[in-house]
Amino acid sequence: MLSKYPLKNSFFYKCYFRIKNGHLRHRNNIGGVNVYRVLFIIALFICAILSNDTSAVAKESTVVLLIEAKGDVDAAIADVQKVVPTGKVKYRYKHVFNGFSFEISRKEVNKLDKVKHIKSTHEANTYTLLYYNNGTFIGAEDVRTYLDIKGQRLTGKGIKVAVIDTGIDYTHQDLKRRYKGGRDFIDNDDDPMETRSLGSLNTLHGTHVAGIIAGDGKIRGVAPDAHIYAYRALGPGGRGTSDQVIAAIDQAVEDGMDVINLSLGNPVNGPDWPTSIALNKAVEKGVVAVTSSGNSGPSIWTVGSPGTSSKAIAVGASYPPLLLPKVAVKKIDEQFSMLPLQGSVPWELKRDYEVVYRGLGEREKMTDVKGKIVLLERGIIPFAEKAKAAEDNGAVAVLIYNNEEGNFQGGIMGDIKIPVASLAQKDGLKLRKEIAASKTWLATESETIVDKIASFSSRGPVTHSWEIKPDIVAPGVQINSTVPEGYQPLDGTSMAAPHIAGAAALIKQAHPTWSPEQIKAALMNTAKILVDKKGDPYPPYEQGAGRVQVEAALKAETLIYPSSIGIGKVSKQDQRTKKTFKMTIENVSDRSSKLSFTLPENKGGISWQLPLSSTLKPGEKKEIKLGLELTPSVLKEGLNYGSLQVSAGKQLIHLPYLFVVNEPNYPRLANFGFGKGEEEETYMYEVYLPRGADEFGIMLYEADTLRFDRVFDYKKNVERGLLEVQIPKERIGKSGEYIAIIFAKKAGKEDMIQAHLSIP
């Protein structure tokens, strides 16, 4: 029975008390975001509403399921069709997923419980684009004089690269010679053209990605002679489902692709999500799989599937050499870096302007802004609406500061003629404080940024497996490339990944017998370690092995793989823990290579046992063992990391490592949804729990008054993975509009997310 009030001393009671008394500090993890935030509403503090839509959408009457077979797939299909003859097999996978996708009425889903040949089922979820010429900068142009075994220059000639995306404009003058075919999984035909003639739902993303890989005109890609195959798995507005994405991966393997690029993702940080598993299988089939890590930074734990795939190459975004505008507050002698919003006109103000603060950008508050720069807070109102309201009232520019830690990468659409840029939260709050104190003027200056990690780039590590992701970074800010009918600069890890896909194509041409693991090692072993503004190396969960260097990767004489060391989780209560790791070290040159490991900087509680110096003969490959002894009681809780240094002839290889002590502070729940159930007179909700939960629950607050209404559900000892719960209508309680607070508690730590629930 659903309770009217929270049980005293329960989590619900504590949360209710904190909300009632204005003390709720909300840890929000929806959409990969992982920040603390406080919002004042009607004299109460309650969970802040994200700029992305977190409202629960009523589920359709049919659902597409990814069904993993137990043994023979065809036998499972036959059994399922006998039990549910009205269902429809959408895709029968052959290579990367031992199963099929099946469209079925929600009312009949429970019938699948009777099918013995089913191992697991997953509801197909939605994938979206990861928006947010650098061939010379990463060294691609420097290798054009190198020759492959056929005496051809290294341009990616003959290498097949699959672009799984929104399709491509294969008529573009820079791509039409490179396009060799593909498949459309949205319209189910052989014409993978971008979405056109649908206004705001038109797409350009796949065309942009393809240009970075293999443009051969005004835009010169990393591998300008590679063969591009387009697999359209994202339709109008850049949206698609996981069954379509997996179908595209499966078809790419079937078609003999050498490299797959997926510049897409979802917010689920887990190693066992179906798309991540599919990429692992593709790699096992001999395909180099490259995927973007996501655009949900700068917080940690924000990498999303398929960027969590263990065997794929997950790519974060860094800055190429850019001259970017910044604003200076002369009265306090401080400068603030800013990021132009995509679609904005350039920030080219020639003189100082007064800056005024106007809240969230409500049109009624845009008074006395003529001839001034307007500072606004991110949230509630779309960026374009904020900017348009400022422009219509005579403002000369708009600055939008983040409502969470760090800066952000956004975009605007429409005919807005004034520049719009973003600021980091701390800079926006400092500027707001100065405005409140006295009249404040801003001057426009410029700064050169290069080889820094983009704030929007998603950070690792991966939950549960604690693996280091991303594996590597590449330029992903202001990347100019092909779009239908022209060219456009875009930002995002979507733009970083194709740099790596192109680099992989060059290496594959140079070394056609190399495995995906060898190609990944060549890229990671030779990457440049990036440092922050203070000169300190970025953690491996932000940059992986570092920024790609194509020429160095092609010149690599020694490979070590795996190229990062995921040590796992240890307990602080353990007195001493010993770990052993096996790695492959390979001399791929025609001369001997002397190897020596260097002990890392001495850290209390960490003791490495490394191999003695040795010599590898030309072409020799051997397995080595590394030992690690930890004393967890003297180590700090949470993430611990560093790198091992290996000298191999003239090559210096850095191997990043990471482990966690005790249960870390990762997001404990994500992807909450609520709607009608699979059976008559039922409702259901689902939520992803990366590590399970000791306690899990949902409580409802009246949407208009924010008063606590009831406990909606409560469970203990929930297993990890996707939690799906059906609730009979009689247990749902009274209808209405509610704010739902969903929480999960694991090993003494807890997280909450918020959603809007509409109960008919």
Residue 226 belongs to a domain with what CATH number? 3.40.50.200
Does any domain span residue 735?
Answer: no
Q: Is 79 a catalytic residue?
A: no
User: Alpha helices of 511-600 — where are they, by DSSP H?
Assistant: 516-525, 540-543, 550-554
What's the burial of 173, exposed, middle or buried (CB within 10 Å: 0-12/13-18/19+)? middle
Do 184 and 298 lie in one domain? The reply is yes
Do 327 and 316 lie in one domain? The reply is no
Does any domain span residue 394?
Answer: yes
Q: Is 26 a catalytic residue?
A: no
* Paired residues of 290 in beta bridges: 261, 313
pLDDT of residue 732: 86
- What is residue 4's DSSP assignment? S
Instruction: Output the six-digit token pair for 585.
Output: 């070290």
Do 215 and 358 lie in one domain? The reply is no
175, 214 Cβ separation under 8 angstroms = yes
Q: How far apart are CA 600 and CA 276, in angstroms?
A: 32
- Per-residue HEC secondary structure of 409-469 comes to CCECCCCCCCCEEEECHHHHHHHHHHHHHCCEEEEEEEEEECCCECCCCCCCCCCCCCCCC
Q: How far apart are CA 297 and CA 293, in angstroms?
A: 10
**CATH number reported for the structural domain that contains residue 86 in this entry:** 3.30.70.80
Q: What is the dihedral of CA 656, 661, 662, 668, to 10 degrees?
A: -30
From first CA to last CA, the distance across the chain in angstroms is 19
CB count, 10 Å around CB of 555?
A: 17
Do 303 and 155 lie in one domain? The reply is yes
Does any domain span residue 749?
Answer: no
Among 344, 494, 564, 593, the active-site one is 494
For the chain, the domain total comes to: 4
Among 51, 117, 165, 250, the active-site one is 165
Do 437 and 470 lie in one domain? The reply is no
Last residue of a domain, one of 124, 155, 178: 124
Residue 14 has pLDDT above 60, yes or no: no
CB count, 10 Å around CB of 626?
A: 18
Percent of the chain with pLDDT over 90: 65
Do 419 and 367 lie in one domain? The reply is yes
Q: How far apart are CA 247 and CA 239, in angstroms?
A: 15
pLDDT of residue 535: 95
Angle at 166 between CA 160 and CA 172, to 5 degrees: 70
CB count, 10 Å around CB of 534?
A: 5
Distance (Å) of CA 719 to CA 690, 693, 696, 724: 9, 7, 11, 11
Do 359 and 238 lie in one domain? The reply is no
Residue 646 has pLDDT above 70, yes or no: yes
For 550-567, the pLDDT digits (tens) are: 999 999 999 999 999 999
pLDDT of residue 125: 66
Does any domain span residue 614?
Answer: yes
Does any domain span residue 173?
Answer: yes
Confidence class for position 39, pLDDT limits 50, 70, 90: very low
Residue 423 has pLDDT above 50, yes or no: yes
Do 482 and 595 lie in one domain? The reply is no
pLDDT of residue 38: 24
Do 166 and 109 lie in one domain? The reply is no
Last residue of a domain, one of 449, 480, 505: 449
Last residue of a domain, one of 507, 535, 550: 550
Residue 127 has pLDDT above 80, yes or no: no
Q: Is 511 a catalytic residue?
A: no
Mean pLDDT of 136-143: 86
Confidence class for position 175, pLDDT limits 50, 70, 90: very high
Do 179 and 82 lie in one domain? The reply is no
Does any domain span residue 740?
Answer: no
What's the burial of 405, exposed, middle or buried (CB within 10 Å: 0-12/13-18/19+)? middle
**CATH number reported for the structural domain that contains residue 422 in this entry:** 3.50.30.30
For 491-541, the pLDDT digits (tens) are: 899 999 999 999 999 999 999 999 999 999 999 999 999 999 999 999 999
* Domain interval for residue 233: 128-320+452-550
Do 313 and 191 lie in one domain? The reply is yes
Residue 54 has pLDDT above 60, yes or no: no
Do 183 and 305 lie in one domain? The reply is yes
Mean pLDDT of 404-420: 86
> pLDDT higher for 39 or 484?
484
Distance (Å) of CA 352 to CA 190, 355, 420, 442, 685: 55, 9, 16, 5, 53
Question: Per mean pLDDT, which range of 74-83, 297-306, 390-399, 676-685 is the poorest?
Answer: 676-685
Distance (Å) of CA 50 to CA 30, 38, 400: 8, 12, 15
Among 117, 172, 205, 464, the active-site one is 205
**CATH number reported for the structural domain that contains residue 581 in this entry:** 2.60.40.10
Residue 55 has pLDDT above 60, yes or no: no
pLDDT of residue 128: 59
* Paired residues of 160 in beta bridges: 227
Confidence class for position 23, pLDDT limits 50, 70, 90: very low
For 667-699, the pLDDT digits (tens) are: 888 888 888 887 778 888 989 999 999 999 999
Does any domain span residue 400?
Answer: yes
382, 356 Cβ separation under 8 angstroms = no
Q: How far apart are CA 238 and CA 229, in angstroms?
A: 18
Does any domain span residue 53?
Answer: no
